[in-house]
Amino acid sequence: MGRVAIKEEFKMMMEGILGAESTDLLAALDTEPQVSIRYNPFKVQARPEGESVPWNRYGYYLSSRPVFTFDPLFHAGNYYVQEAASMFVGHLLAGAIDEEEGVRLLDLCAAPGGKTTLYSAQVGLEGLVVANEPVRNRAKVLAENVRKWGLGNVAVTMNDPQAIAETLPEWFDVVAVDAPCSGEGMFRKDDRAREEWTPEAVRMCAQRQRTILSEAWRALRPGGVLIYSTCTFNRAEDEEQVEWLAEEFDTEKIDIEIDPSWGITVTEAAGHDCYHFYPHRSRGEGLFAVVLRKGEARSKQRPTRPRRTALVPAPKKEYGELGRWVASPEAMRFATAGDRYFGYYEWHSEAMSYVSDRLNVIYSGVCMGQMFGGKLRPDHALALFHDLNEKVARTELSRAEAMAYLRRESPAEIATKMQEGIGALCYEGCAIGWAKRIGARINNMLPSELRVLTKESEEEIWQE
């Protein structure tokens, strides 16, 4: 079955933007996109082999697309499958702030988590990322990807942007808005985006984007940085939004160094540089991005009072048991939320509590697990935490054994390798989850919702 045809209105629009070159863009949109991944620098110590994405030091192009579901390292959070152009926002962040670590960053439209995990690694463990997604099912996917990434410096919230701006006015050093858009940059790999695109959809998205940007501006501190991006080509959702921002608010230009070899098209809007990725010019999908600085004038907005106490500090008598599971217990603070224990780095534990008391937080830090009789039953997220204590019992698995575990099977071969009790199961030295050995059998502790449903042979897994 052939591809869905690109609509004539879109072709005419792009001819108005690119002229005769629009035919090159349309031809590129009918080709196969190149696959790229971004590795987790807190879990992968040696740089992987492969061709680097030039604007992101952790990004790599792949020569073919494996079935990632059948790679245990994917489930371990060693890398994130992310389109190369989307990684460009990290280059904007690096060029816009003097020091990447220690910042408070709000990712306002964060699901499924590609840019959140990028920001999480880039701001470092001393930084704090608040990743927001107002739609419940998308927020769950976001939280799962944050757990898998495993850095412990992210709070996942599920709030309307207006609620965040009202609750935490001028609280963030950086606000990133990867806005819901008409999806023109997805035409190469998503036929549904082609089907759903209309000029009216563009207008509706542009109106919605302005509402979101207004709230993002309120949440940004004076002197802070706004990163705005879309996966579109049209001016209404791109340059015209920058012009509107400059007209409505006190914006300042930020100069970013761009290598001409990257194939990025730089346009101008209200004195600000705007960056376009066109698939016929650059090695990535369609993307628009801009970075602005907020003027220094302060408003009279004040943070609201907490609605509740969401996190209760764990008793000090439990710190010994909780701390033995992590490599740097002296750097951690522990708290309870309901019947579960969570761990936070000391330097942003107060900020995590501050956010949790005011917003609808569905996940934050690292979920440690539950206590039974003074002993921790570890949560799956703790196995994926980058700072899991090396002294925790570990069992190395073959690929076949790792995939059997991820299908939530309990092979007897694994039991013969394990010590009695709970231990981490690893593949190539990376933890993929917990199991408990009870005599000659194991209890597979992988959450049922994470189970890999399909079983294929090694030859089928890696062909393509």
The phi-psi region of residue 340 (left if phi > 0; otherwise alpha if psi is between -120 and 50; otherwise beta) is beta
| pTM (two decimals) | 0.95
Residue 303 reports pLDDT greater than 70: no
In whole angstroms, give the CA distance from residue 424 to residue 378: 10
Tell me what the pLDDT averaged over the chain comes to: 94
CA nearest to 144, candidates 177, 112, 178:
112
In whole angstroms, give the CA distance from residue 292 to residue 220: 11
User: In CATH terms, are 305-390 and 393-464 the same topology?
Assistant: yes
pLDDT at res. 460? 40
Residue 231 appears among annotated catalytic residues: yes
What's domain 8-288's superfamily in CATH? Vaccinia Virus protein VP39 (3.40.50.150)
Query: Measured between alpha carbons, how far is residue 188 from residues 29, 33, 191, 288, 350 in Å?
Result: 4, 7, 8, 16, 44
Active-site entry in 205, 231, 426, 430 = 231
pLDDT tens per residue, range 313-359: 999 999 999 999 999 999 999 999 999 999 999 999 999 999 999 99
Q: Is 380 helix (H, G, I), strand (E, B) or coil?
A: helix
Task: Tell me if 40 sits within 8 A of 149, measured CB to CB.
Answer: yes
Query: Measured between alpha carbons, how far is residue 198 from residues 21, 201, 376 in Å?
Result: 22, 5, 54
pLDDT tens per residue, range 210-246: 999 999 999 999 999 999 999 999 999 999 999 999 9
CATH topology of domain 393-464: Nuclear Transport Factor 2; Chain: A, (3.10.450)
pLDDT tens per residue, range 158-167: 999 999 999 9
Residue 461 reports pLDDT greater than 50: no
Residue 464 reports pLDDT greater than 70: no
Buried b (16+ CB within 10 A) or exposed e, 432-446: bbbbbbeeeebebbb
In whole angstroms, give the CA distance from residue 251 to residue 220: 12
Which DSSP string do the residues of 306-335 spell out, in sequence order?
A: PS----EEPPGGGHHHHHTTBS-GGGEEEE
Q: For a pLDDT cut of 90, what percent of the chain falls above it? A: 90
Query: Measured between alpha carbons, how far is residue 396 from residues 242, 383, 426 in Å?
Result: 52, 14, 5
Task: Give every CB contact of residue 235 below 8 A, 6+ residues apart in sequence.
Answer: 17
Residue 449 reports pLDDT greater than 80: yes
Instruction: Pull the structure tokens for residue 417.
Output: 């390798």
Task: Give every CB contact of residue 198 below 8 A, 6+ residues apart in sequence.
Answer: 7, 9
Break the chain into its structural domains and give their ranges.
8-288, 305-390, 393-464
pLDDT tens per residue, range 12-47: 999 999 999 999 999 999 999 899 999 999 999 877
pLDDT at res. 336? 97
Instruction: Pull the structure tokens for residue 93.
Output: 């962040």
Give the CATH number of domain 305-390.
3.10.450.720
Mean pLDDT across 415-444: 96
